[in-house]
Chains A and B, each alone.
Chain A
């Protein structure tokens, strides 16, 4: 029964326009035709959607079949003879279909943004339906403003319903609906008057004509003016392929092609509408040098000289460890690599860190420790093919929308079972909610995921026991874990999570039935206290059920920033060398330093929380900040403000004047990801090429050039001709790094490491991982405020994106309508949130998916909110936790 071999699909042979095709059984004729190079014209068919066969454009003649058939809904059969281009009957049919469509079409191609790349235009030219049989007046729809980002022009609609089906089947948003009948069918937004949805832009991309278009680029271009550059989105860790379309060196629009990239042509609002960030008028244009309270524009030579000389002086006077560096995971791999090489090789310190430290490190570290790989052992394709998906602490639609689409595809189209442990409650809203699709949902508070994870583990192991081979080969490990889990009383777990033994039992039996099990771990686990322990526990769960090494199974921590994974792999973390090796590992250190011809300091240097302390004590004199904004993201209790105050030199390499940059001594302008070359590594560990679409704004330079220039000034030159040279060096230093390719090859767990882990390594922190975190005292009056990512933003960066601000321009404190009613608060009311750290004011928004007793605030607007946050540091991974606050809510 449990064969891993897949049975080969039966192949069918047929002839299409005289060409012979061999395709798997069940393939549609239109697809088979495409494979042998026969393009059958079509409107309503799209490979992503279920066939609807409503437009009749794809009619073909099939021998032995009575009438013409729609090739988009007819599956192939052995020996079929299909005629498409070579049949007069078909030609005439297509002509008349077009005649029907054009009878109502306004023929306003000159003013239509689709004009020049429109299927209807192309087919009309091809089938020359120039003379109409119709004398009637054309239909005219009343036009109303549709939405801030998307506009419709229903007179142009061919009623193929692709947009409606896409929004439902792929996005699971269901924002669009056909209204009316026959030729008077009109596509409208559901419910509300103005469209309010995920703004993924999918309907714009999939509409074969110009009936749905983007407002952001409206009338700014004609397709023939655009230059294209295929690149990778710079927002989240999903790493979508995007094509920048530019005109006269300015970004006009972004698109993604079906069949390309890890996203297969789907995008989210950030990717599709967020591109204006790089052309924002507030971009820093020249290097700036502080003079008293203000900044003076400077030339590069002057600014670099000042930075280089000051760094040298500090290094000579106080030693290399008086210098620290912090870089963002939004940089390219090449930037990150050169940064850490500069800090380690030229400055001589391991005091570096990056945004991986904010959470993703928890996941990667756990993977490394248990299975010896820092990458996922699954890919997006495995998520789609999985039988059971377990989501822990992630509202994946908002944090990693494309991973979310893979999950939706797995559940809705492939029948996978979904178990979620998430704070949000099932409720329909304007944006999709992954827990609505869950077969077993455990809605626990954001600080209580651990209870549900342990309860599920306990249930799995108590009802099914552990896998036979674990029992045999790792007896001690198995027994120890069983003992830990039996030590947890069901009554406590039930009490803590609010779900009963039998609830967990049902989920456990679903879990155990899965052959391909993927566990996705989200930000709300990784960035919250106990995140590392919980990821370890989930890995234990896979190990104990014998699935860890099975193909298609694995634990997948989701990266927040586009290149968090790359930041780790390039070694932009204090205790990690390029390739993910530990800095304490002398052999790797020698290997890397041999490549560099420079020695690498062996002291681990300390992570971000430590160097915050060292900055406060005055031991660190200079800080290089690359694209990070610690002052804007860490809470005041972390002491960040005082830490920056005492610095002799604060250098910021930035696109915008952030809070941190305002405190800097020197600010250096850099390139956005649309302005430079390089590579990003997405959350699955797939390395993808980033290409330059426009020239840098002002004097901006890529980050690596700045480090390279500084190294020359500091007398230890580290020169590179271009990005490719750095790439070559990276591949030499890390032979393991995979080259660019269309699809990633997932890592495999390292049997040696797994052996070592079950052989005793696991004991180190076993007790702490399996001890229920102490219960928070329950103040019925207080709310647990959770800072979460919103679908429409990514970090603080996207707050400069025009399009995204049109959808979400301010942070609201979202609570459940009942919770609000209980406190007599309504939508839009001002409230005060107070706890012993302070009081802040916020506007209330109502959302049914927020559980009672909790409030969610988008982290991008958290400027004031940070004053209320608690701050803790993980003892094992040094990850700072600061996303939760307990506060009272008072109506103003």
Chain B
């Protein structure tokens, strides 16, 4: 044992070193706890919160019931039951749509997979419940989340660009494309 170490032992150098952060804060005190829920943090725009189903500007559901989100989801959150829209031959929609949010890991793959951008991730995170079953959401609930989280809605796909074909339209009363 040399002199240097001997002095370190005598002055409790290691302990002081370990408590450096604590001791420094002891001097310049500043509260960092947020008074949630009275205070709220501002979230980054790409925050991956609660999932929602969206609508077009004419109020129709975007989801076409294609099952791709179900296929993309790594934790089997989604179940889609698709069907033909009654009275509109070959038009497809999701007759039922369920998400079991207890399993969701908010990876966003479903949102990526959706071909019509019918899914969105909102900034909502306050979804603590007393009964887990309340996290099993159906289509109406998911649409409601979308309605409150995305007040600004998109035009139907085929009206966004002249060269985009009519996508999943019942072909009964095909609207004129009023784009030049």
Contacts and interface: CB of A to CB of B under 8 A. Distances in A.
Interface residue SS majority, chain A: loop
Given A106-B165, A143-B171, A143-B172, A222 B89 contact: no
Interface of B: 64-68, 71, 82-84, 89-90, 92, 115-116, 162-163, 165-168, 170-172, 174, 177
A140 B90 CA distance: 14
A848 B25 CA distance: 101
B162 A137 contact: yes
A145 interface: yes
Contact of A219 (B84, B116, B172, B174): B84
Given A106-B167, A137-B177, A151-B90, A224 B66 contact: no
A136 B163 contact: yes
B174 A142 contact: yes
Given A110-B64, A110-B66, A111-B66, A155 B165 contact: yes
Contacts of B90: 143, 151, 153, 218
25 contacts: A105-B165, A106-B166, A107-B167, A108-B168, A110-B116, A111-B167, A135-B163, A137-B163, A138-B163, A138-B165, A140-B166, A142-B171, A142-B174, A143-B89, A143-B90, A143-B171, A144-B89, A146-B89, A151-B90, A153-B90, A155-B165, A218-B90, A219-B83, A219-B84, A222-B67
Contacts of A115: 66
Contacts of B163: 132, 134-138
A720 interface: no
Contact of A222 (B64, B71, B115): B71
A107 B66 CA distance: 13
Interface residues of A, number: 30
A758 B51 CA distance: 84
A141 interface: yes
Contacts of B115: 109-110
B174 A140 contact: yes
The majority secondary structure among interface residues of chain B is loop
B71 A111 contact: no
B12 to A, nearest CB: 66
A707 B78 CA distance: 45
Interface in A80-111: 105-111
Contacts of A136: 163
Given A111-B65, A140-B166, A219-B84, 20 more contacts: A106-B165, A107-B165, A107-B167, A108-B168, A110-B68, A110-B115, A110-B116, A111-B66, A111-B92, A115-B66, A142-B171, A142-B174, A143-B89, A143-B172, A144-B171, A151-B89, A155-B166, A218-B83, A222-B67, A224-B71
Interface string A111-153: 1000100000000000000001011111011111110000101
Nearest to B89: A145
A635 B164 CA distance: 63
A262 B115 CA distance: 41
Contacts of B171: 140-144
A225 B170 CA distance: 26
A157 to B, nearest CB: 13
A335 B120 CA distance: 56
8 A-B pairs closest in CB distance: A143-B171, A110-B66, A106-B165, A138-B165, A111-B92, A110-B115, A219-B82, A111-B168
Contacts of B165: 105-108, 138, 140, 155
B89 A219 contact: no
Interface centre among A135, A144, A218, A219 (most CB of B within 10 A): A219
Contacts of A140: 165-166, 171, 174
